[in-house]
């Protein structure tokens, strides 16, 4: 169990010591290294650490393969084809031996500290409206916090925004709903399950270390707003749980505790969380 928990911690997934579906999938993905298999757009999409490494290298070279999420989707396919074209290779969007050799020849150029995906996320936020008006925010809950989710949506709407409430126990469905809605951000709320009475806010961070800059900024604002309402110990952490990995917009998941206080102060929480979202919308992204 200790080994499973250590692996889960490294991968940024739920640390429960149980090798369930999520952990098994993470184990399979962790077994792939770049070059182990041809990489291309497939259905279902290929997933693994080899895909994440390809995305990291492409992004460091200025080819926008999207977030380093280890999922080979259309954006990664386009970036791969662009790289091949610029490298004088057959632009077939298949990462095989010739493409890997070209990446290897570039050596340290693939290790630039900043990814084009980081720049794009900040620029997309910078170009957006500086007010809640016209901004669609997805508010998700997987069970037990229906009233809070609807209260948050009501306050967001009153503040001029547009709220989409997503209620489904499956994180993949939550992410799919937020993506389909074209949300500018995803705010998930859940009751903390660790029993320690802690509140935490998670944003997307890949096992390889890439993180969503706007997701982190939103998470920090959310956590700062929560502390005066619920008190106690609070943390901000990067994770790779499905709803954060699968969403295409900045996303955070807030775990709230203790349950009795969450229910008692749901109106205050809705106000505080809306204030945090407003600050995120209005504030300029960090350079």
Domains of the chain: 2-122 (1.10.101.10), 130-282 (3.40.630.40)
Distance, CA of 48 to CA of 39 (rounded, Å): 10
Q: What is the mean pLDDT of residues 245-273?
A: 94
Distance, CA of 125 to CA of 56 (rounded, Å): 21
pLDDT tens digits for range 108-124:
555 655 678 888 898 88
pLDDT tens digits for range 198-238:
789 999 999 989 999 999 999 999 999 998 998 877 789 99
Residue 155, token pair as written in the block: 């306050």
Distance, CA of 268 to CA of 98 (rounded, Å): 57
Q: Are 240 and 11 in contact (CB under 8 A)?
A: yes
Distance, CA of 199 to CA of 255 (rounded, Å): 6
Distance, CA of 174 to CA of 166 (rounded, Å): 6
Torsion of CA 17, 170, 247, 222, to 10 degrees: -70
pLDDT tens digits for range 80-104:
999 999 999 999 999 999 999 999 9
Q: Are 41 and 72 in contact (CB under 8 A)?
A: yes
Question: Which residue bears the tokens 């890439």?
Answer: 210
pLDDT, position 113: 56
pLDDT tens digits for range 13-72:
988 889 988 999 999 999 999 999 999 999 999 999 999 999 999 999 999 998 999 999
pLDDT tens digits for range 33-42:
999 999 999 9
Q: What is the mean pLDDT of residues 172-184?
A: 95
């Amino acid at each position: 169990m200790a080994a499973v928990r250590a692996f889960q911690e490294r991968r940024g997934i739920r640390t429960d010591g149980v090798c369930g579906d999520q952990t098994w999938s993470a184990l399979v993905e962790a077994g792939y290294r770049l070059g182990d298999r041809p990489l291309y757009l497939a259905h279902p999409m290929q997933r693994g650490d080899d895909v994440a490494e390809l995305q990291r290298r492409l992004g460091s070279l200025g080819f926008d393969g999207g977030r380093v999420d280890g999922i080979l989707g259309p954006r990664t396919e386009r970036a791969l084809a662009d790289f091949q074209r610029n490298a004088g290779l057959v632009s077939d969007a298949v990462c095989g031996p010739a493409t890997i050799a070209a990446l290897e020849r570039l050596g340290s150029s693939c290790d630039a500290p900043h990814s084009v995906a980081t720049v794009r996320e900040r620029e997309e936020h910078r170009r957006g409206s500086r007010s809640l008006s016209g901004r669609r925010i997805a508010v998700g809950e997987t069970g037990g916090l229906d009233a809070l989710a609807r209260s948050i949506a009501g306050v967001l709407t009153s503040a001029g925004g547009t709220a989409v409430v997503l209620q489904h126990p499956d994180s993949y469905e939550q992410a799919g709903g937020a993506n389909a809605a074209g949300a500018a951000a995803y705010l998930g709320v859940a009751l903390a399950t660790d029993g320690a009475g802690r509140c935490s806010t998670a944003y997307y961070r890949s096992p390889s270390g890439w993180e969503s800059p706007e997701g982190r900024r939103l998470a920090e604002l959310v956590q700062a707003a929560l502390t005066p309402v619920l008190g106690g110990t609070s943390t901000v952490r990067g994770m790779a749980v499905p709803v954060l990995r699968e969403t295409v917009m900045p996303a955070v998941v807030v775990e709230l505790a203790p349950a009795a206080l969450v229910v008692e102060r749901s109106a205050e929480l809705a106000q505080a969380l809306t204030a945090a979202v407003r600050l995120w919308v209005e504030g300029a992204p960090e350079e």
